[in-house]
Amino acid sequence: MKSRVLITGGAGFLGFALGKHLAQHNYEVTLVDNLARGVKDKALTDAVSGGVLKFEEVDLLDPECRQNLGGQYEFIFHLAAIIGVAHVMEKPYEVLRDNVALLTNTLSFAKRQKNLKRFLFASTSEVYAGTLKNFSLPIPTPEETPLALTELSDVRTSYMLSKIYGEALCLHSGLPITVFRPHNVYGPRMGLAHIIPEQLKKAHEAQSGSIIQVPSADHRRCFLYIDDAVEMLKSMMERPQCQGETLNLGQNMEEVTVKRVAELCWETVGKKLLMERVAATQGSPVRRVPEVEKLVSLADCCATTTLRRGVGETYKWYRSHVFNDADISAT
């Protein structure tokens, strides 16, 4: 009998990719989403109609949502949240209020499961922002780094604080918990409000020789391709050593500047373009590099996809599904 997995925020790019990956490994997967940001695109509808995945449109802000979530599950991934800089800047109160409510309602549902083996909570690399601003942040950054807050009146604090509070709720819930902190995961279906699909779109539409704006060009990141991310999450879910742990989800073998990422996107598209550096995105850290020794040790996995290959695969998907076919990926 297949183990059952529930993924909240399942129509999003990480939830959907994770669901497909687990289904390929003989898990029965149900995705739930209110479609506020994730979308019911052709990829999702094909997977559901083909019997690969189950999908339920559910509003997790409703305290009675558990009535629409189906039967018993062995594993629950909680990915549902209001995310994205634009959303955080526009409605910080709703981000703080709703992200906590989404989690508490899902935890309440999880406590009703008779055979729950693991509850996995998606936190964020943003939890390190206060330490970076007010103290000395080690880079690469280990999970044990003490966390500090940014100014509470800063609108970006709302998202970070919702996730720090969420981590605490999970760790004190009495459930078998694993917390993971994603670091710059990218790939197909992630929408266009991220540097890699954004630069791929600009390059795809531009004439050779055009000037392309690149914010935060000198900032440095370590990007994790979606295929590596979902394999890491599967390992976290299955390995008992990961229960009760907080783990960075990322890689630190290939650290690059945002400038280099943009240039790689243009090279992938096959156009020679000129760069106009513009102001850094508000609140963006100059450098973000996760320590992953704990992840490698406990989950026994590491990234294998180079940035060049991952950008190439991402462009193939966007070119086929969005740029030339006008399908949607996320709002």
Task: Name the one residue in this structure whose structure tokens are 């209110």.
Answer: 34
Give phi and psi for 122, each to the nearest 5.
-85, 105
Give phi and psi for 310, each to the nearest 5.
-65, -40
Domain range list for the chain: 4-186+225-252+288-304
- State the chain's maximal CA–CA distance in angstroms: 61
pLDDT at 167: 98
Residue 165 tokens read as 């509070």
Residue in 194, 190, 195 with CA at minimum distance from that of residue 317 = 190
The identity of residue 129, as a single letter, is: A
297: enclosing H helix or E strand: helix 293-299
Provide the whole-model pTM.
0.96
CB–CB of 46/16 below 8 Å? Answer: no
Superfamily name with CATH number, domain 4-186+225-252+288-304:
NAD(P)-binding Rossmann-like Domain (3.40.50.720)
pLDDT at 83: 86
Which residues 6+ apart lie within 8 Å of 300 measured at CB?
A: 235, 239
pLDDT in tens, the chain (331 residues): 899 999 999 999 999 999 999 999 999 999 999 988 778 899 999 999 999 999 999 999 988 777 778 779 999 999 999 988 777 889 999 999 999 999 999 999 999 999 999 999 999 999 999 999 999 999 999 999 999 999 999 999 999 999 999 999 999 999 999 999 999 999 999 999 899 999 999 999 999 999 999 999 999 999 999 999 999 999 999 999 999 999 999 999 999 999 999 999 999 999 999 999 999 887 789 999 999 999 999 999 999 999 999 999 999 999 999 998 767 766 5
The identity of residue 131, as a single letter, is: T
pLDDT at 67: 74
pLDDT at 331: 55
Per-residue H/E/C for 178-246: EEEEECCEECCCCCCCCHHHHHHHHHHHCCCCCEEEEECCCCEEECEEHHHHHHHHHHHHHCHHHCCCE
